[in-house]
Structure 1
């Protein structure tokens, strides 16, 4: 299995045995939980190179890929074959997909040793799906014809906090004074920089 995973061009040792900082890289997660990897596992099962039990892994990977797609739709992807990457609008696949995704997420079972536990991500995904459905209802109610889910994620905020941490000497827990000072520095730098 490991040899196969490395043969998929996007996977490296960093994906399979990440260090502390690499574990925080969303791009690595998105590459592991991709249609390429899920379909590759299905192909290996079909060829008899992996046991049928690997299909559960492939199914899980493909489900996470669909979730990522459904939250990253925008006009740039409007012609993509992956319909969940399209903008959200009346009749789009999102509104049919999300309720079934909530149920699948509820049905996930996580084990810690012999004990069943609820992963925080289960509740987070369910809340996020319900929130974006409510957001769509709200913006549709004021006249929006479509909505790009990608524009409602927290990446810009995470990037800002990353820059603030860098301005604090990689201090992951700045006090309020350090935080405000770093924020002012970043805003000033942003206003003074020339973007082409």
Structure 2
């Protein structure tokens, strides 16, 4: 699912929607909003999945969290955006609430680790796969 919400897809969708009034066939200009959502979700995943100390161009959020990294500003804005989102259904869908909880947890963990003297935090190390691999290795040694 994350690949669908990629930076490239979002940017292309926004560009085509804006340029399409001069072209035939065209797509609805509101597709630019969908493109913006794709870019937001891409940044959201990047912000929780940093695996390099120094950011690569255009992917600042896919890097380590530091005291001055752009994660803090993005997370603050992301919480506002997520809190404003609504589903067009009566069913409870936990995705948005879970992202809010995840961001709040990441903020808390990062603040505590940085305050304790860590220079940076690579959040990919907190993802499920590395933790499962670590726990599997513990079971093998027992």
Alignment partner of 2:6 out of 28, 31, 34: 34
Q: CA RMSD in A?
A: 2.5
Structure 1 stretches of at least 4 aligned residues deviating more than 3 Å after TM superposition? 156-161
Q: Distance in 2 between matches of 1:52 and 1:40?
A: 13
RCO higher in structure (CA 8 A, sep ≥6): 2
Preserved CA contact (<8 Å) 1:80 1:86: no
* TM-score of the two chains, using structure 1 as the length reference: 0.62
Determine which structure has the larger strand proportion and give its number: 1
Q: In the alignment, does 2:106 pair up with 1:108? A: no
Instruction: Using the TM superposition, give the Cα deviation of residue 74 of structure 1 relative to its aligned residue in structure 2, in angstroms.
Output: 2.2
Count, aligned residues: 136
What do residues 124-158 of structure 1 show as CA deviations (whole Å, max 9, x unaligned)? 00000000100011111210011111111112356
Determine which structure has more spread, i.e. the larger CA radius of gyration. 1
Residue 50 of structure 1 aligns to a residue whose secondary structure is coil
Change beyond 3 A, Cα 1:67–1:83: same
Tell me, which stretches of 5 or more residues in structure 1 are unaligned?
1-28, 162-182, 192-196
Alignment partner of 2:73 out of 96, 110, 119: 96
